[in-house]
Structure 1
């Protein structure tokens, strides 16, 4: 899922009908109160974060509506309730419709760090992290088994990934309609675009590593999970951009572990990405799913040892699919609410339209959720396979690099026939060259030519060619890709303020009151129709909106901006009404600091753009975590004296 993205960028699945919406995105995200009972809704100061399963993670995409209600407990067993319906349903349990903004299509966000979707043959590396997994051996199917894996989670996952692409696997075919290298905002892909490839049977699982050299943290943080993904890339010899471009790493935690506080926050898994010296790396945080009943265990009433592992199909498949369609959250495919391809179809009851089902692969039968198909405008378990060009070359981002400093820019081509690829480039600044075998552009440039257009070409053994171009400026800058796609969900508030179980989502901004996000004609929006109006409550209560920003390892700066119109009748110079932007930690909600304050005193009429640097606040908790951002107004009189009008917010990271 997604995530802010994001949302939350990591993206994830939330407890199924055990928890309320909250996620790409990345789903996600938002600060949550600790000690919440697993499987029950938790309070979140803001949405956003890696795409947690609901299917987001903090910062990957925003907390996605997990089409789920709180479960009831009977005799110590958690009994899931049927998913809620939404538009066009009536909102009652079991009405058979999706509660995940069913009618909103997916749109392409333009790519992040040269990645929009994974275009090469899908590859998964499974990492059993920590000595808690015990020692390894091999079973009769050739799977790695671990002595510290009482429920057999590791071989189950291996069989699932080995089986993709076999026995008429229609589920994988749904993903092939999505592509990259097209205009941002597009909803359909032309035939000549670089599509996600249908997997070859037996080829998806690329490697398994039981990393038992030391114990994994009992409650690993997002940066620690990212570090393990980077260690896995090195372990498997994937040390270039091209080698990591179309692979994902699943970081499996052992029984009893609490990675990224999954039990307290209330999600099942999430996916995210990070910048490393090996290029951008996409990875999934996969807790030990049987530890929480709401994450799919015996979801179909089997009450069997194999049924206990249902979550590794439902949720593991969810995160795998979202990593293919949105590897560098939120640069791939999401809808207007920040949900990814799997979020929109999460936890629909088996037997309902678009509901959970069993897919029979050559390696066994696995429970899966459906995936959103833009082509059909439905949640689908199968679709025709869409094929793109045999040879594709990923779009490369425009960059700014520092003169006199080493440059390392990776190109990534994919050939569906498996043929070897060679690279060449034109327009390279003096001092830079491209490695014909790896596609890595390296060297040191004097930076005397300013912006230059560089064209990279790829050629396979069959003589097929592909090319892409990007701009590079080596006259200054910190180095790396220029600002990527918008990190906020609904930055202009145009999704409105209706309840999430009906037509649109509000939890992208967590308004303190129903009318805070409004199309009221009493004031004007900066653009569109909707805006946020803080300062309506007088001194009786502060008004606020809040959202979350997922941050990524390897990034160095973040900026937040919005347009502010301060309309005030408070002329007091000593007791003005105020607006504050406050940053909070994701994990425990503690305040990181007041980013900036505004007041009614001396305010300018009309919308004025405000921009702040979030970097010092992110550095307090470390890149790779999610921070919450809260805009709160305070009125000094019982009669509202100042309207703080906010519109067209934006957040970008570099």
Structure 2
């Protein structure tokens, strides 16, 4: 959910979380699917976004919310935590030019020059991908994939059309826009073995599953010429010089409105690639050290999957002339390598992190990023009908390898497939809108029916949307939805609808942390192994030590071991537009011998990803009067997210301070969790 950084080629944002369900009491969450009447009709171009509220989208008019300060007065350490992010390949040492900082070497990356044969295997843990259960009723794309290219900002100049029918821009120095169109147009053509690897992944199965049954809804192999769905030149005003995550999400919503994709069904298997112009710094990509990322947002148009695609040739480590061509076309290598990376991860994890990742949070392409050309599982060129494009391999669970062509079959779907539908809760006597989305592999229309609907709810046979106001009853009801095509072929799926006053409204919250229980292990302070998601600042802070006990499993975090520095662990959490509340919980055991009047403390601090500066201290725990044994702690992060805007990535840091000259308090932390509502 991933951001394309070295080792997280992303989010997608991507992505980053798992553990205990913690409800936010009285959160007052209002589902974006709420069907009650409002003064913002979609027919007039209104779309609801988390950061900007209701906006009226006009074709050709970009959103121009003020960019937040990105702290560009000083170089910043590249941060982890963006599931869906493509990291730069191994490159020469960081250099500073024109007040900008090129991406630094990332954890696990060997020094290199970018020469052919120079690189590293991003994933060194040999872990299979597992299914996370689906987020917001989405696990993978189950219908023909569609890509819309958004050329954002007047900096691109004026459009024209070349001999191949591609849109070209007068200020596109390296011709990145037509190259991307040709790549997506060529997918599914003769010679495209790469797309076949993706078909082994599916949804509608139990979380934790590794292999997909034939009856499941798989990612389909694309029909030749069908993937590229259109290009929008949004050049009515300049794109922001440093677009924030919320601004990028809002541009995706503007694109959905422009293309007329205004329902959940229309956006279900769609992704929007947001191309920023040369010289801009979207989401401070240079300072934060990634090449691209993919993400999603809730909106009144349904779930929108989109990619932040900077002007890749601005940074050499993002694939420019990666094979040593030193040609105009070679300069665009990154748009094949990285563009393909983000496309594949959006298909397998569109609503990060609800699709397919491994235990370290890496997605299908992260595991195979930047393996050298000519090596086993390395970069390769694929000849499509529209040209030859460099691609990276993709992880295959079936072969336990990084491959560019599957040795197994290209999987096909049953005649009718029906999207996963999430278990949810809603208040009684309140209007709801719950979409069911089916795909018929012949292109036939389907009709919908449902059983188990509470009194007051009904399903539209043509659209599959369940609407109405349920009666004032309390409890869970099992609803089964069936989609049937003209030939009588059908598919069914079920979900639990809970009717309760107060509490969460809408889909059940999914775990957002990559390694909530620290069970990935590692005692490596250099972060070259699995504890990167928590970034301990000292040796052996994440430990299986028998001197203390975990809350569960074998590993836990032990803060308070040092007096020469404060011990800390830090993780970064994706926060998605359209959500309104976020909780952080963990189990804490405070074991102390401190009898002085000055207690030892544990503080929870939240960090701005752009400036790397604290937004504030959420809460501080003390050794004084601490209860014995593990006690669950829960805090609300919502006020801090409201400072920076939903859609950003928030740093969460636990810091232990020992007041004396020798350690006297062990703050033991385990089974953390982040949930968004």
Q: Normalising by structure 1, what TM-score?
A: 0.89
In structure 1, the partner of 2:33 is none
User: Which shifted more, 259-268 or 422-431?
Assistant: 422-431
Query: Whole-Å Cα distance in 2 between the matches of residues 575 and 72 of structure 1?
Result: 43
Q: C-alpha offsets along residues 430-453 of structure 1, whole Å, 9 cap, x if unaligned?
A: 332222222122223343354222
Q: Which of these residues, 579, 582, 595, is aligned with residue 555 of structure 1?
A: 579
Matched, 1:370 2:361: no
Contact kept, 8 Å, 1:28 with 1:53, in 2: the verdict is no
In structure 1, the partner of 2:480 is 455
Unaligned runs of 5+ in 1: 1-8, 55-65, 87-92
Contact kept, 8 Å, 2:382 with 2:389, in 1: the verdict is yes
In structure 2, the partner of 1:570 is 594
In structure 2, the partner of 1:13 is 4
The Cα of 1:97 is off from its aligned counterpart by: 6.1
Query: Whole-Å Cα distance in 1 between the matches of residues 423 and 237 of structure 2?
Result: 40
Matched, 1:51 2:80: no
Question: How do residues 89-104 of structure 1 correspond to structure 2 at under 5 angstroms?
Answer: 98-104=121-127
Q: Which of these residues, 445, 453, 456, is aligned with residue 428 of structure 1?
A: 453
3-state SS in 2 of match to 1:507: helix
In structure 1, the partner of 2:276 is 253
The Cα of 1:98 is off from its aligned counterpart by: 1.8
3-state SS in 1 of match to 2:506: coil
Contact kept, 8 Å, 1:432 with 1:444, in 2: the verdict is yes
Q: Which of these residues, 542, 546, 549, is aligned with residue 517 of structure 1?
A: 542
Contact kept, 8 Å, 1:517 with 1:531, in 2: the verdict is yes
3-state SS in 2 of match to 1:263: helix
Q: C-alpha offsets along residues 264-311 of structure 1, whole Å, 9 cap, x if unaligned?
A: 111110000000011111100011111111111111111111111111
Matched, 1:587 2:574: no
Q: Which of these residues, 185, 189, 207, is aligned with residue 184 of structure 1?
A: 207
The Cα of 1:541 is off from its aligned counterpart by: 1.1
User: Which shifted more, 409-418 or 26-35?
Assistant: 26-35
In 2 relative to 1, CA 25–571 (structure 1 residues): closer, same or farther, beyond 3 Å?
farther
Matched, 1:302 2:325: yes
In structure 2, the partner of 1:325 is 348
In 2 relative to 1, CA 95–156 (structure 1 residues): closer, same or farther, beyond 3 Å?
closer
In 2 relative to 1, CA 258–502 (structure 1 residues): closer, same or farther, beyond 3 Å?
closer
Query: Whole-Å Cα distance in 2 between the matches of residues 547 and 83 of structure 1?
Result: 15
Unaligned runs of 5+ in 2: 18-68, 111-115
Query: Whole-Å Cα distance in 2 between the matches of residues 498 and 170 of structure 1?
Result: 40
Q: Which of these residues, 239, 255, 270, is aligned with residue 262 of structure 2?
A: 239
The Cα of 1:85 is off from its aligned counterpart by: 8.3
Query: Whole-Å Cα distance in 2 between the matches of residues 608 and 83 of structure 1?
Result: 34
Contact kept, 8 Å, 1:138 with 1:144, in 2: the verdict is yes
Q: C-alpha offsets along residues 100-141 of structure 1, whole Å, 9 cap, x if unaligned?
A: 134111111111000111111111111111222222221111
Query: Whole-Å Cα distance in 1 between the matches of residues 162 and 9 of structure 2?
Result: 39
Report 1 or 2 for greater relative contact order, CA contacts < 8 Å, sequence distance ≥ 6: 2
In structure 2, the partner of 1:418 is 443
Query: Whole-Å Cα distance in 2 between the matches of residues 454 and 123 of structure 1?
Result: 30
Contact kept, 8 Å, 1:25 with 1:338, in 2: the verdict is no
In structure 2, the partner of 1:90 is none
Q: C-alpha offsets along residues 125-168 of structure 1, whole Å, 9 cap, x if unaligned?
A: 11111222222221111111122222211111011001001123
Query: Cα RMSD (Å) of the superposition?
Result: 2.8
In structure 2, the partner of 1:197 is 220
User: Which shifted more, 494-503 or 517-526?
Assistant: 494-503
The Cα of 1:70 is off from its aligned counterpart by: 4.3
Q: C-alpha offsets along residues 395-453 of structure 1, whole Å, 9 cap, x if unaligned?
A: 11112223333212111111222121221222223332222222122223343354222
User: Which shifted more, 424-433 or 486-495?
Assistant: 424-433
Contact kept, 8 Å, 1:83 with 1:347, in 2: the verdict is no
Q: Normalising by structure 2, what TM-score?
A: 0.86
In 2 relative to 1, CA 68–501 (structure 1 residues): closer, same or farther, beyond 3 Å?
farther
In 2 relative to 1, CA 483–388 (structure 1 residues): closer, same or farther, beyond 3 Å?
same
Query: Whole-Å Cα distance in 2 between the matches of residues 215 and 410 of structure 1?
Result: 36
In structure 2, the partner of 1:316 is 339
In 2 relative to 1, CA 479–566 (structure 1 residues): closer, same or farther, beyond 3 Å?
closer
3-state SS in 2 of match to 1:400: strand
